[in-house]
Amino acid sequence: MIKVEDHIIIQGTKIKEALAKLNKLMQDAILFVVDEQGKLKGSLTDGDVRRGLLNDLGVDNTVDAFIQPSPKFIQKGNYDIQQVIDYRENDFRIIPVIDENNVIVNIINFRFQKSYLPLDAVVMAGGRGSRLQPMTDTVPKPLLKVGEKPIIDHNVDRLIKYGIDDFWISVRYLGEQLEEHYGDGSGKGVSIKYVWEDEPLGTIGAVSKISDFNHDYVLVTNSDLLTTLDYEDFFLDFLEKDADMSVVTIPYEHNVPYAVMETTDGLVSSFKEKPTYTYYSNGGIYLIKREILERIPKSGFYNSTDLMQALIESGKRLVAYSNRHYWLDIGKPDDYEKALKDIIHLNL
């Protein structure tokens, strides 16, 4: 896990202390100089120190004399994904994230992270998991272990790899265990808040209870999935198609063992010999513009399919994103057994 404090040093600190800190960071050796309020003032690398020493600065000087005063940064809630991609492709490997007051709130390290997506994430984890009884009698399904960690951790940790750091988890059945498991998210370097369902609200109804999203786009995902989905590609496809909502779809092939005839008014117009038909089903992962979420009723049972139907009827842009990566819905005992076998080979 990236620790922000490891990369922070305060103005006025002697360069000797900074060198000791840079040495501990090894291949991630860059410091961001801040004032007493935590506001970004500059950056410092080994190269900056060497150049300073060659210019007759000494170890008794402070970091202020060595820093680069205009470091690259990302402002949380005020950036686009192309800025992130440009930094990554131009080998800016470690980037500070600042808030509207220029205070550093996070550090991106592309050695560990694949991206920094401008998204909030809602993880739906309130279900009973009745098909997995008796395993779920005392443990909520999202906390059942697959490999070395619970199902939900595989989802949250992968989203963190893509730079998502604002999470909401909808909880109901044994939700206290999920609250205890994550707390406020600080143990993972993110923010996690909880949405309690007093009654079952369907597959997306709980989202209506959230009013303080930080971004214009929201990812909603079931908590009982295993997937190697490329979330950045999913988001880029969403933007390219100018979608209001995008649904990850899972292809299923159906092989017909006979010739299929196409007829019109009883006349055979053509036939296909043992054709294969591909159908696409809902994969339980969605990207949605924040304003679209206002269409979800503030109370009562409401499924993601209800929202999709409403968007179709109102002429909004509902698009499908065909998943080309591993995906498994852990709904039944057979699925759980498959997950236990597959996790050995997955790079989540």
Tens of pLDDT, residue by residue over 132-149, are: 999 999 999 999 999 999
Residue 274 structure tokens: 């043992």
How high is the pLDDT of residue 269? 82
How high is the pLDDT of residue 211? 92
How high is the pLDDT of residue 97? 96
Q: How far is CA 178 from CA 125, 140, 145, 218, in A?
A: 9, 8, 13, 21
CATH classification (class only), 119-342: alpha beta
Residue 173 structure tokens: 């059945």
How high is the pLDDT of residue 317? 97
On the CB side of 183, CA atoms within 13 Å amount to: 6
What sign for the dihedral angle of Cα 67, 71, 77, 81? negative
Give the integer Cα–Cα distance in Å for 229 and 208: 26
- Scanning the structure block, which residue is given the tokens 């092939």? 253
Tens of pLDDT, residue by residue over 67-123, are: 999 999 999 989 999 999 999 999 999 999 999 999 999 999 999 999 999 999 999
Give the integer Cα–Cα distance in Å for 264 and 260: 13
Q: Which sequence spans correspond to the domains of the chain?
A: 4-109, 119-342
Residue whose C-alpha is closest to residue 214's, from 72, 74, 78? 78
How high is the pLDDT of residue 248? 97
Determine the topology of domain 4-109 in CATH.
CBS-domain (3.10.580)
Give the integer Cα–Cα distance in Å for 178 and 155: 14
How high is the pLDDT of residue 197? 93
User: What pTM was estimated for this model as a whole?
Assistant: 0.91
Residue 193 structure tokens: 């808040």
Residue 53 structure tokens: 């020493």
Q: How far is CA 314 from CA 89, 253, 295, 303, 309, in A?
A: 40, 31, 11, 17, 9
Q: Extract the residue ranges of the chain whose pLDDT is less than 50.
A: none
Residue whose C-alpha is closest to residue 307's, from 250, 243, 245, 249? 245
